[in-house]
Structure 1
Amino acid sequence: MCGIIGIVGKSEVASALYDGLTVLQHRGQDAAGIATIDGSRLRLHKGNGLVQDVFQRDDMLGLRGHVGIGHCRYPTAGSDGSAEAQPLYVNSPYGIALAHNGNLVNTETLRREMYQDDRRHINTDSDSEILLNVLAHELQIQDRMSLVPDNIFKAIAGVHRRCVGGYAVATLLLGYGIVAFRDRHGIRPLVLGERDTAEGKEYAVASESVAFDILGFRLVRDIEPGEAVLITLDGELHSRQCGEPAVHAPCIFEYVYLARPDSMMEDVSVYKARLRMGERLAAKIQRLKPGHGIDAVIPIPDTSRTAASSLAQALGVPMREGFVKNRYIGRTFIMPGQSERVKSVRRKLNPLPLEFRKKNVLLVDDSIVRGTTSKQIIQMARDAGARKVFFASAAPPVRYPNIYGIDMPKAAELVAHGRTEEEVEQLLGADWLVYLDLDDLVAAVSEGNDDLHDFDTSCFSGEYVTGVELTYLDQLEFSRSDEAKDKRRQVG
C-alpha cells in the first residue's frame, strides 16, 4: 500500500500536498515525494523517510505551482530504496510524473513488451516504472498536435488493456494537468474531492477521504473502477469510463487494517465497518463459548480498538487499555525484516500489569499475519499476571500472499498457512483463539453499501480476482521472503 494525492488549485499547492501526505503517512513510511507543475517545468523533490524528514523549508519553497501530486511509499517486492521513491518521471512525451498505489501482476510480460515493441528501457524492478512507461507509450501513439481529453482517455484505455493487477494512479501531464485513474476491479482506493475558493473551484484526488478533511475539501465520490479523471490546468473536470467492465472488488484488507477509521471508502465508513466486525466476532464468541469467563477485553493498539469496543459492549464485558503504545515506533506490519519486527514489539508496547493481574483477558487484534507479534504479546500478557489469555482476530486467518500492493510475506511465513486454527492457537501460546469468519467480514463491510457485493479477499481465500499465473506467485514468494529482503539490504 502507498498513499497518493493530487491537487489542481488556484494558488500554490505544495504545502497542501505536504499536509495531505502527513495524513496519509500510515499508508507508507519508507519514502515520500512531491511533484508540481511550474509553468513549463516540473519541480520534484523526494527521498527516503517520513514526510516530515524528507521535506525541509528550502525543499518546499522550490516546489512552486498550483498543480501537483504527492506520494508516500510503502516498499513491496523488489524495492530498491531511493531509486524507487515516487513520483517517478519520464520526459517523453510531454513530461509525465506518476504516483502509484498497488501492484501489477503481469510485469514480466510488460517488461518484454517495453523493450521489444515500445523500445523503452526499464531501469529498476519497480512495477510503477513499468506502469509509467506503458502510459507514456500509449500517450505517444496519440495525435501529438491535438492531445485533447478524448486522446488522453484513449491512452488510459490502452493502459487498462495492457496492465493487470491493482492500481490507483495520479499523474502530472505537463501542459495539461492531472490524470487520475483506477484499475478495472477497483482493488486499490481512490477518491475525488472539491472545494470552493474566492478564485474558483479546486479539485483533489487521494487514496483516502481523510486527506480531504484536513485540507477542507468535500468528498465528492469514489473514482469508479476503470474510470479516468482529467483535471486540466485551468480547473476543468473531465471523466470517462476507460476500462472494459469487470467485477468490482475493492480490497477488503483496507477496512481491516490499512485505512484510517475516519476515512470513507466505496461510500462505507471504515469506522462503522470495524464496529460491525467486532459485533459479529462477539456473536461468534457467544455461540462457541457461551460461558467464556472473560474479565476484560484488551485491544492491541491501535487498529483493533474500534472492533474491540463493539465486541466488549456486545459481550457485556469492560474494555480496558492494557497496553501503552510508544507513538514514535512505526507500524510493525510494514517493517522490512523479521528481526526488526521482533525487536520492535517490546519497544512499541508496554503492558499495564494492573489490567492483567489474576484476570482472564481477551486480547483483540485486527488480524494475524506472521504471528510473531501476536505470540510476543500473548507472552507479555502472561508475564503481566494474566490467569488466562484468549486471543481474537477481527479478520479471518491470513493464509495466502496479497499480490495487489500489500507486502504480505511468502505463504510459508504466514502463521495460518497450512495450519488449522487449533494449531495456530498452540503455536501462539493462547488459551483460546478465535477468528472472524470470512462471510461475517464481507457482511460487516458490505452492510454500509447495498451496491457492494464482491471484494478482493485473496489473502484469506486464495482467490485472485484478476487471475494470476503460478510462476508469478513463485517469483513473488521468493522476492517477498525475509531472506531475499535481507540480501537486498546487504547489497544496498
Structure 2
Amino acid sequence: MPMDGAREKCGVFAVVSAGEPVASTICVGLIALQHRGQEAAGVAVVDRSAIQLLCGPGLVSEALDPDAVAAMNGSCGIGHVRYSTAGSAGEENSQPVRRRTRTGQEFALAHNGNILSIDGLSTSTTPSVGWGRKRTGSSDTHILAGKLADHRDRSIDEALDAVLPTVVGAFSLVIVSGDTIYCARDRQGFRPLCLGRLGAGWIVASESAALDSVGAQFVREIAPGEILTVRMNGLKSRQFAGEDPATCVFEHIYFSRQDSQLGGRRVQQVRRAMGAALADEAPAIGDVVMPVPETARPAAAGYAERSGIRYEEGLVRNPYVGRTFIKPDNEQRRLGIQLKINPIPEIVRDRRVVVVDDSIVRANSALAVIAMLRAAGAAEVHMRISSPPIRWPCFFGVDLSRPGEIAASDRSVLEMRDLIGADSLGYLSLDAVERAVGTAGICSGCFTGEYPVDIDQIHAKMRMRAAA
C-alpha cells in the first residue's frame, strides 16, 4: 500500500544499561522502527542527572548526526520516530519532549498514538503547558508532558498514577528520568509496546523486531493499562486501569514489521493466513499472483499457495523514494506512486494477473498500479485486498481522520472496482481477519464504525467542559 495508504504515527525505543552509553543503541533501534515514522527522529539520554536531547527532521540517518550521537554519554535514554497524525508536522513537535516538574525533576517523554482528551479536556484545544517551559508545541505529547510536569509535589510515579487514568485515547509511552525508564500503555492497548533483555540491561520498544536489531531477547508485551518502571535493579509493574484490549487491527494488517511478534503470534504468519482466507472468500481465475510491495507479500504468498496459482514478483518497489519527496495532493501522489512502483512486463504481458494488497484508502495506489499493469500488457487485472473495506475514520493514531479522503466510505465494492479500473475486486471479511489474528480484543472501527471508546460521548464532554 504505497504512498496513499494509512500511515502510523510513531515508534518508541528505550534503553537502561549497566553504565554503557546507550545513544547509539537507541539509534539502531529507531532505524528498525523507521517504517513507523519518517518525518522526524529524536534521542534523549540522561548524563549526570541532566537530559541531553537531540532531535531533527527526516529519517534517523538524516535527523541524528553520528558525531552528536557519539558525544551523548548517558546510560539511560529514549528515542522516537515520528509521522504526524495530529498537531503540526513542524520541528517544535518532534519528540522526545523535555520537561521539569515543579519539584525540579527533569524528564523526557515520547509516545505513539493519539490522545483524545486528558481529564475531560480535548488535546486539540488544550494549550501545552509545563513548569519551566514556554507554551510551545501543539501535539498531544506536549500536552501530556505538561500535565505530568504540573503535578505539584509529586514524583513521576505519582503523576503517572494520577494522570493516566484520566487519559482517553491511544498511547504507548516511554519516559526517562534519572536512572529510570517509565513505560505505559493505554487500557485498550491500541498501539504495541514490548519489553526485552539486553545483557544486564533492559529495552522497551514499539515492536519486537527492534529488540532483535540490537540483539535483545523478547521478554513480554506491556499489558494494556500497565505502568512498568524499569531500573537496572529490577522492574516494578502496576495497573492504572483494568485491561480492555482493543489492539489496532492495522498493526496486524499493515503497520508492524512482518518479523515482529504481536499478541503472541508472528505478524508474517497472520498476514499469510489472511491471504489464504482471501483465496477462499474471493477466488479469481488467474495465471499469476503478485503482491503490491512491500507489506502485502505474505498475504499474496498465502493467496497463491491456497489457490494454486503461481506466485511471481511482478511489481518492483524503488526503496529510495521517501514520503517527504511527494507533496500531499492527489496528482502528485499518483506521480509518486509511478516513481515508486514499476511492473516487469515479461511477467505481466498477456496474463491474467491477481494483484494482492493489504488495503485501499484513497484508492490512488490501486488505480495507479492497475493502470501500470494494463500498460505493461496484462490481459486482465483482478485486485484482492487482505482486509475489509475501510469506511470510517480512525481516532487512535492512524492518518484516517477525514472521511472524504476514504474512497470506500460511500462506495460499494462494485463502485470501488469501477473506480480503480479492475476486472474484479474482492475483500477479506472481518470474521476472517479476526480468525487470522487469533487473539481477543481488536479495534476494527475503521471497518465497522464501532469503536471501543464512545467517541460521541467524549466529544460531548469536551464541548461541555469548554463551555463551562
Q: How does the TM-score come out when normalised to structure 2?
A: 0.90
RMSD: 2.4
| Distance in 2 between residues matched to 1:117 and 1:333, nearest whole Å | 35
- What is the aligned partner in structure 2 of residue 84 from structure 1? 93
| Distance in 1 between residues matched to 2:446 and 2:365, nearest whole Å | 18
Q: Deviations over 1:295-324 (max 9, x none)?
A: 110110010001100110100000111111
- What is the aligned partner in structure 2 of residue 206 from structure 1? 205
**Higher-helix-fraction structure:** 1
Comparing 387-396 and 246-255, the one that deviates more: 246-255
SS, match of residue 334 in structure 2: helix
Q: Note if 1:270 corresponds to 2:279.
A: no
- What is the aligned partner in structure 2 of residue 323 from structure 1? 315
Q: Deviations over 1:33-53 (max 9, x none)?
A: 000000121111001010001
Q: Deviations over 1:132-182 (max 9, x none)?
A: 1122234x342xxxx4xxxx4443232222210010000112x34110000
Amino acid at match of 1:434: G
Distance verdict in 2 for CA 1:285–1:310, change over 3 Å: same
- What is the aligned partner in structure 1 of residue 228 from structure 2? 229
Please report how far the alpha carbon of residue 25 of structure 1 lies from its aligned counterpart in structure 2 after TM superposition: 0.2
Q: Note if 1:157 corresponds to 2:168.
A: no
Q: Note if 1:28 corresponds to 2:43.
A: no
Q: Which runs of 5 or more structure 1 residues have no equivalent in the other structure?
A: 287-291, 447-451, 476-492
Q: Note if 1:128 corresponds to 2:141.
A: yes
- What is the aligned partner in structure 2 of residue 216 from structure 1? 215
| Distance in 2 between residues matched to 1:185 and 1:21, nearest whole Å | 24
Please report how far the alpha carbon of residue 79 of structure 1 lies from its aligned counterpart in structure 2 after TM superposition: 1.9
| Distance in 2 between residues matched to 1:443 and 1:428, nearest whole Å | 28
| Distance in 2 between residues matched to 1:395 and 1:23, nearest whole Å | 25
CA contact (8 A) 1:202 1:235 kept: no
1:7-86 alignment, distance < 5 Å: 7-10=15-18, 11-86=20-95
- What is the aligned partner in structure 1 of residue 346 from structure 2? 354
| Distance in 1 between residues matched to 2:238 and 2:230, nearest whole Å | 12
- What is the aligned partner in structure 1 of residue 3 from structure 2? none
Please report how far the alpha carbon of residue 88 of structure 1 lies from its aligned counterpart in structure 2 after TM superposition: 0.7
Distance verdict in 2 for CA 1:69–1:471, change over 3 Å: closer
SS, match of residue 398 in structure 2: coil
| Distance in 2 between residues matched to 1:459 and 1:277, nearest whole Å | 18
| Distance in 2 between residues matched to 1:77 and 1:423, nearest whole Å | 31
| Distance in 1 between residues matched to 2:145 and 2:332, nearest whole Å | 32
CA contact (8 A) 2:26 2:43 kept: yes
| Distance in 1 between residues matched to 2:327 and 2:225, nearest whole Å | 32
1:103 to 96, 104, 114: 114
Please report how far the alpha carbon of residue 235 of structure 1 lies from its aligned counterpart in structure 2 after TM superposition: 4.0
- What is the aligned partner in structure 2 of residue 193 from structure 1? 196
| Distance in 1 between residues matched to 2:110 and 2:221, nearest whole Å | 18
| Distance in 1 between residues matched to 2:113 and 2:189, nearest whole Å | 11
- What is the aligned partner in structure 2 of residue 5 from structure 1? 13
Distance verdict in 2 for CA 1:371–1:409, change over 3 Å: farther
Q: Deviations over 1:328-387 (max 9, x none)?
A: 123699975434422210110111111111111111001111001110110111111111
Identity of aligned residues (%): 38
- What is the aligned partner in structure 1 of residue 452 from structure 2? 465
- What is the aligned partner in structure 1 of residue 395 from structure 2? 403
Please report how far the alpha carbon of residue 468 of structure 1 lies from its aligned counterpart in structure 2 after TM superposition: 1.1
Amino acid at match of 1:363: V
Please report how far the alpha carbon of residue 471 of structure 1 lies from its aligned counterpart in structure 2 after TM superposition: 8.8
Please report how far the alpha carbon of residue 127 of structure 1 lies from its aligned counterpart in structure 2 after TM superposition: 0.8
CA contact (8 A) 1:182 1:226 kept: yes
| Distance in 2 between residues matched to 1:359 and 1:3, nearest whole Å | 41
| Distance in 2 between residues matched to 1:71 and 1:455, nearest whole Å | 25
- What is the aligned partner in structure 2 of residue 241 from structure 1? 239
Comparing 366-375 and 127-136, the one that deviates more: 127-136
| Distance in 1 between residues matched to 2:428 and 2:363, nearest whole Å | 16
CA contact (8 A) 2:128 2:146 kept: no
- What is the aligned partner in structure 2 of residue 363 from structure 1? 355
CA contact (8 A) 1:27 1:72 kept: yes
Amino acid at match of 1:18: C
2:172 to 163, 168, 172: 168
- What is the aligned partner in structure 2 of residue 388 from structure 1? 380
- What is the aligned partner in structure 2 of residue 480 from structure 1? none
Distance verdict in 2 for CA 1:426–1:14, change over 3 Å: same
Q: How does the TM-score come out when normalised to structure 1?
A: 0.86
Amino acid at match of 1:186: G
